[in-house]
Amino acid sequence: MTLAEVPNNTNSTNPFLILNYEPALESLGEDYYDEVAAAEFPLHALRWRNDALLPLLGLDAKAVTDEDFITAFGKFEGRKPLLALRYHGYQFGEYNPFLGDGRGFLYGQVRGVDGELYDFGTKGSGRTPYSRGGDGMLTLKGGVREVLAAEMLHAMGVRTSRCLSMVETGLSLWRGDEPSPTRSSVMVRLSQSHIRFGTFERLHYFRRPDLTKKLLDHVIEQYYQHLDSEQDKYALFYAELVQRVAELVAQWMAAGFCHAVLNTDNMSITGESFDYGPYAFIPNYDPYFTAAYFDYYRRYSYIHQPEICKWNLEALQEALKAVIPQTDMEAGLASFDEYYLAEYRSLMLKKLGFEQLSQPQADELLKATIEFLKHYPVSYHHFFADMATTFSSKWRDDASSILRDSEIGQSLGTSELFLNWSGIYHRILSDLTPEEIEKVAQTLARHNPKTMILRPVIESIWEPIVQEDNWQPFYELIQQIQSGN
């Protein structure tokens, strides 16, 4: 990838600057945001451009230069207004009225070729009225980590925002949780919406039901268009949000992903995953794995994620009850567990190679799988990846051949829990035709990536960046993620 710097002038032919930006959120008025200015940086080195996203914007990657990215998303020339959004939120269960976009802004909103509205949102672009004494900046490592998280989750089928660009900005930042000084970056995120649960919670805090209704009408009009003409659209909206969030957290759980900071200000009103901080993919099936070092009571540990998302949805009811009857929202939330379990079961079965099984078979197999993974120091991701790479039609005829060619099978193949699991798996396979066995192999390969960004992997690509300014391992890792290798 070419690193580039551009002269301090705006190129009117820049493809990003001539997109048809829509003032969707801006049109709601200044009760929801503050206009801000972007920071000026001493350096603009393009470290990441996500060409895979450009066709969605109607752009040809070959026609977009590195200089175009830097002008638009590093120097932020030629685009106004830039909007820091206002919101509050429950942080670790405690309400915080002193939040808002403190190091980012809404750069603009554009309609994709699919007809959907998308946000360009920044991270690390400087101070705003909500910086609360912070510098408004993003560490370079933080940018690298978010790029990796978004691409990995997208590759695993998780509904997520993605990073469009990352520019190194030449500042030295001081952070208590990593060696300082450290390098800086500014990132642009492409997502469906930056409206959060906390956006509504702020309006309730200030007792503005009129603004709540106005915002809710906007959300339904833009992101739940199929409900807009329904008589009970508000109740239907909340019920669908419950389903989206339940399915999203099921996707995280199947992917072995721990978000780390599931505060209500980090929950999107569209049910999309975004804003990754100290996340981690679990190394092994430890239910109480906790990604954030400051989560002392393990509130946001891996196993707690479904109940926390449900809690966040329940907390949102307080903000929405000015518009939606409480009984309607309670009825909508009552289906959370059903949606979650159905999605989780479906996704885990696919990781095991099956598009569908009878519920008794599915429950028996999933219980045995989790019991095995929970009680042995087996890599969660390697277990499924090894199933995909070593699967053989022989598994149908001989239970002892299951994972025989894997290090896991060789080391634990005689353990009681492994024999119980492999016996159940073999029994299911024995009922399948050769054609169905081939479909199992294809499903395993499709749903279990070989590459996984566990923390040691991230550190292994970060070290060359720090020591030698060598970005090649980072680009190679992204290519492996995107290609599924």
Q: Which has the closest alpha carbon to 343: 251, 271, 255, 256?
A: 251
Taking the CA atoms of 6, 193, 203 and 22 in sequence, report the sign of the dihedral they define.
Answer: positive
User: 39: which DSSP letter?
Assistant: P
Q: How far is CA 59 from CA 8, 47, 78, 297, 409, in A?
A: 24, 20, 18, 46, 48
Check if the beta carbon of residue 109 is closer than 8 Å to that of residue 118. Answer: yes
Asked if the peptide bond before residue 81 counts as cis, ω within 30 degrees of 0, the response is yes
Q: How far is CA 90 from CA 100, 101, 102, 191, 261, in A?
A: 12, 15, 16, 22, 11
Annotated catalytic residue within 265, 275, 328, 386: 265
Checking 110-115 for CB contacts under 8 A at 24+ apart, the result is: 110/19, 110/20, 110/21, 110/22, 110/57, 111/20, 111/22, 112/56, 112/57, 112/58, 113/55, 113/56, 113/57, 113/58, 114/56
Paired tokens of 443? 């499903």
Check if the beta carbon of residue 11 is closer than 8 Å to that of residue 71. Answer: yes
Active site residue 31: no
Asked if the peptide bond before residue 325 counts as cis, ω within 30 degrees of 0, the response is no
Known catalytic residues are 265
